[in-house]
Structure 1
Amino acid sequence: MPQQLNTLYHCSYSIQFHLVACTKYRRKCITQPMLERLGIIFGETLEKWEGKLMEFNGEADHVHLLISVNPKVQPSKLVNNLKTVSSRLIRKEFAEHLGKVYRKPVFWSRSYCIISCGGAPISVLKQYIQQQSEID
């Protein structure tokens, strides 16, 4: 099955990232209701960035997002916005629970992991490019 491409007026694209975000100090503070709310927050935030939350899940101290974005998006700015918006809303909505875990208004660690994914493996792409006919 051919890869599904999205389009803008000047390009075709398929860009996906796997994002992992951890709680501050890796504290195990994410509850099931918080996880469900985070999924909603991330989905709504990505829509504003003209992106899509393709898959979401997590554990008590970190979350995994599979996201699809367009070429206009700068990944570092998107991640910063996702973490800022979700932290602000989660700390507000679950203040009592998080107040027992953190003294300061924090939720996410500064660090994150973002990995490009989707489409063919790098080895297949390298082989495809190497097999292109040479220019005379």
Structure 2
Amino acid sequence: MPPKVALSKLVNSLKGVSSRRLRQEYPELVRHYWRAQRLWSGSYFAGSAGGPPLSIVKQYIEQQNQPV
């Protein structure tokens, strides 16, 4: 995406494309999410980390609680 594209539009595009591809590759997802009729939540989080090395950021993310 060009740098001037709003982050919300980028996230919306990524969610839309990934949802379509996942539904094509795994048709059983349609049955599982038939009530919500959407695969992803409407929300998202974006953050930046300018100081620590990527290995530290990755370690932090991996140590977060997993959704139930």
TM-score bucket of the superposed structures, by smaller chain: 0.5 to 0.7
Separation in 1 of the partners of 2:42 and 2:4?
24
Q: Which runs of 5+ in 1 are unaligned?
A: 1-48, 51-70, 121-136
Structure showing the higher strand proportion among its residues: 1
Equivalent AA in structure 2 for residue 108 of structure 1: W
What is the identity, as a one-letter code, of the residue corresponding to 1:76? S
Higher helix fraction: Structure 1 or Structure 2? 2
Counterpart in the other structure of 1:102: 33
Aligned partner (choices 104, 111, 122) of residue 43 of structure 2: 111
TM-score (norm 2): 0.59
What's the counterpart of residue 75 of structure 1? 7
Counterpart code for 2:24:
K
* Larger Rg belongs to: 1
Give the aligned partner of residue 63 of structure 2.
none
C-alpha RMSD of the superposition: 2.1
**Structure 1 match to 2:59:** none
The alignment partner of 2:11 has SS state of helix
Partner Cα separation in structure 2 for residue 77 and residue 84 of structure 1: 10
Unaligned runs of 5+ in 2: 53-68
State how far apart, in whole Å, the 1-side matches of 2:42 and 2:33 are: 15
Tell me which stretches of 4 or more aligned residues in structure 1 moved more than 3 Å: none
Alignment of 1:1-136 (within 5 A): 49=1, 71-96=3-28, 98-104=29-35, 105-119=37-51
Higher relative contact order (CA 8 A, sep 6+): 1
TM-score scaled to structure 1, two decimals?
0.32
